[in-house]
């Protein structure tokens, strides 16, 4: 495995393995290799013998989370204003590590939120109100006008690709396509600057109609939404968009604002 740049291994449903003890031994052996290019995802029902066998991994995960948080607080420009205040840094680190409950992704998402705080009052409020689970982080993520403008520049024919020339000169113009079914609202947050304009369906009945059986039988059948088809299209479009950053053209903190859909694509 050392011959590869990155290796991702998924072990699904450990509890369904008939040779569980042998599998756990294999996992422990692989973990002992300490290969930096290897990433493992384990899923299982919460059974006591599996949980106790993996306690060593859980402890290591907490240490990894702590190292990541420390690294971000030191290197990420979003936290530069707090570098001279060790008390604030320690407060952020302690809160995230203690509340992460071995969920690395939770800590990453919370750092993104905290990095947008521009005052100590906003930071303290955010630390107190951090959502306890990932569901509450991922649910409220409406798309902005600028993000939707980039979506229409993604070509899904054959191989999904992103063409920057396909973005409207004035991003709000894209809403003329959907003027009867969407509304624009202003999303204000103490942790977010500047204010963000987000797009939502104008009424819940719009969604019900688009996913209904009756739309498939009428003249608007072309606009019918089928979950499986939509999930496939969304996944392909996001991957096609993110593939523009391979090679020498990398996404960085400096150019992130030029690519409005990048953050949403990588997260969701």
**Is the distance from CB of 131 to CB of 222 less than 8 angstroms?**
no
Q: What is the model's pLDDT at position 56?
A: 65
Query: b/e for 230-262, b at 16 or more Cβ within 10 A?
Result: eeeeeeebbebbbeebeeeeebeeeeeeebbbb
Residue 7: strand pairing partners: 38
Q: Is the pLDDT of residue 116 over 90?
A: no
Q: Is the pLDDT of residue 138 over 80?
A: no
Q: Is the pLDDT of residue 158 over 80?
A: no
Q: What is the model's pLDDT at position 88?
A: 92
Of the two residues 69 and 209, the one the predictor is more confident about is 69
Question: How many Å apart are CA 219 and CA 22, to the nearest integer?
Answer: 59
Mean pLDDT of the chain: 82
pLDDT bracket for residue 110 (50, 70, 90): confident
Nearest by Cα to 221 from 230, 229, 213: 213
Q: Is the pLDDT of residue 59 over 60?
A: yes
Q: What is the model's pLDDT at position 87?
A: 92
Q: What is the model's pLDDT at position 150?
A: 92
Q: Is 209 exposed, middle or buried (0-12, 13-18, 19+ CB in 10 A)?
A: middle
Nearest by Cα to 146 from 109, 173, 181, 112: 173
pLDDT bracket for residue 237 (50, 70, 90): very high
Q: Hey, what long-range contacts does 259-262 have (CB within 8 A, 24 or more apart)?
A: 259/150, 260/144, 260/146, 260/147, 260/149, 260/150, 261/147, 261/150, 261/151
Q: What is the model's pLDDT at position 3?
A: 83
pLDDT bracket for residue 107 (50, 70, 90): confident
Of the two residues 134 and 96, the one the predictor is more confident about is 96
Q: Is the pLDDT of residue 135 over 60?
A: no
Q: Is the pLDDT of residue 180 over 80?
A: no
What token pair was written down for 240? 């096609």
pLDDT bracket for residue 175 (50, 70, 90): confident
Average pLDDT over residues 156-176: 85
Residue 167's Cβ-side half-sphere holds a number of Cα atoms within 13 Å equal to 18
């Amino acid at each position: 495995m050392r011959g590869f740049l990155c290796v991702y291994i998924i072990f699904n449903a450990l509890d369904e393995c008939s040779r569980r003890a042998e599998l756990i031994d294999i996992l422990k052996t692989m973990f002992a290799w300490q290969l930096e290019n290897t990433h493992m995802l384990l899923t299982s029902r919460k059974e006591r013998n599996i949980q106790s066998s993996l306690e060593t991994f859980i402890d290591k995960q907490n240490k990894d989370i702590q190292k990541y948080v420390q690294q971000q607080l030191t290197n990420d420009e979003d936290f530069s204003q707090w570098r001279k205040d060790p008390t604030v840094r320690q407060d952020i680190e302690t809160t995230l590590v203690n509340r992460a409950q071995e969920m690395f992704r939770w800590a990453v998402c919370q750092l993104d939120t905290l990095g947008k705080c521009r005052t100590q009052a906003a930071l303290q409020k955010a630390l107190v109100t951090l959502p306890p689970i990932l569901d509450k982080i991922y649910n409220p993520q409406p798309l902005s006008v600028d993000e939707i403008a980039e979506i229409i520049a993604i070509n899904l024919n054959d191989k999904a690709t992103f063409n920057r020339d396909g973005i409207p000169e004035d991003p709000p113009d894209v809403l003329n396509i959907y003027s009867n079914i969407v509304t624009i609202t202003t999303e204000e947050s103490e942790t977010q600057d500047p204010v963000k304009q987000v797009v939502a369906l104008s009424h819940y009945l719009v969604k019900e109609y688009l996913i209904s059986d009756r739309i498939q039988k009428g003249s608007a059948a072309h606009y019918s939404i089928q979950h499986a088809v939509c999930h496939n299209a969304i996944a392909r479009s996001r991957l096609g968009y993110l593939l523009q950053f391979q090679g020498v053209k990398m996404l960085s903190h400096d150019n992130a604002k030029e690519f409005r859909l990048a953050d949403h694509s990588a997260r969701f």
